[in-house]
Amino acid sequence: MGKTYDIDRIVDEVVSLPSLPGTVALIMRLVDDPNTPLSLVAKAISADPPLAIKTLRLVNTAYYGLRQKVTTIEHAVVLLGTKVIKNLAFTATVLDIMKDEMDSFFLHSVACGVAMRTIAMTGPGGLAIESPEEAFVYGLLHDIGKVLFKKYLPAEAEEVRRLVLSEGVATYEAEQRIIGVDHSEMGASIGLKWKLPEILVSAIRGHHDISRCPTPDEARLAAATAVADFICTQCGLESDGGPVRVSQDAWDASGLSNSHIPRIMDAFFAELPTINELVSASE
């Protein structure tokens, strides 16, 4: 086993955290200002043709359920609102970062986004989010730290994979043993770099250990993300073959009970066709 790291050292010495593209950072700032007109948000996205194309591809998937084909960003903003468009532009960017990774990881991340949206729509409620589309981002980002491990620590990432397969330990446990830092901590570091909402960063950090979340709202979102991760893995949409478990504390924090699970699963199964469509739309 090689040397291990703590999170500060790995960020300072090993991993170059990617910056959020300037267009997306601008869009996020614009949408966070309630006085920003819709036209200005649309103009910012349209000024970046690759981002505009990817955003329109996502808008026109069955996932968003629009009855008419949307051909302009301006039309998309009017139909969906600025906050949904912000999440769409951000999602398009993250999918672009992830798309070169192993197919199973990419598919799992999108599936977890869909599962989180399903939990937000059909679960008991109480999640501190503004919309189901926002919940999608939580699921999409939960494992993004794995991307950096694979890129910057490929030998250690391969050792993690072998340990997961040989001993059946969870990926985050293998990462802690081999690297000293798990992908949840690494993903939270990216979230901080991108100036994502604190509650989202906390959910990424705590989705395998809700004790890392300082507030009940953060713990509930982290727990819901853990359940979404579990659902996808149980359905064969896992990222790396490692087992995914949900602790009793996480089940309790999620607010989900046995009565919610059948409804959530039925809704998730109904959304399965949209997962491949979302993946295809990002290519």
pLDDT score for 94: 85
Residue position matching structure tokens 């690297």: 179
pLDDT score for 122: 92
What's the CA gap between 87 and 92, in Å, rounded? 8
pLDDT score for 54: 85
pLDDT score for 183: 96
Mean pLDDT by 10 residues, the chain (283 residues): 78 86 90 89 91 88 86 90 86 79 80 95 88 90 92 93 93 96 95 92 96 96 96 89 90 92 95 87 71
pLDDT score for 102: 56
What interhelical angle do 198-206 and 216-234 show, nearest 10?
A: 50
Distances from the Cα of 41 to the Cα of 24, 35, 71, 76, 78, angstroms: 10, 11, 16, 11, 11
Identity of the residue numbered 134: E
pLDDT score for 64: 83
SS3 172: helix
What's the CA gap between 89 and 21, in Å, rounded? 11
Domain definitions of the chain by residue range:
11-281
Determine the straight-line distance between the first and last CA of the chain, rounded to whole angstroms: 37
SS3 213: coil
pLDDT score for 169: 93
Report, at the CATH architecture level, how domain 11-281 is classified. Orthogonal Bundle (1.10)
Alpha-carbon torsion, ordered 127, 131, 227, 64, to 10 deg = 170
Residue position matching structure tokens 């699963």: 265
Q: Are 201 and 188 in contact (CB under 8 A)?
A: yes
Q: Where would I find the H helices in the chain? A: 7-9, 22-32, 38-46, 49-59, 73-80, 82-98, 103-122, 132-141, 145-152, 154-167, 171-178, 183-193, 198-206, 216-234, 248-254, 261-281
pTM: 0.89
pLDDT score for 89: 86
What's the CA gap between 129 and 117, in Å, rounded? 11
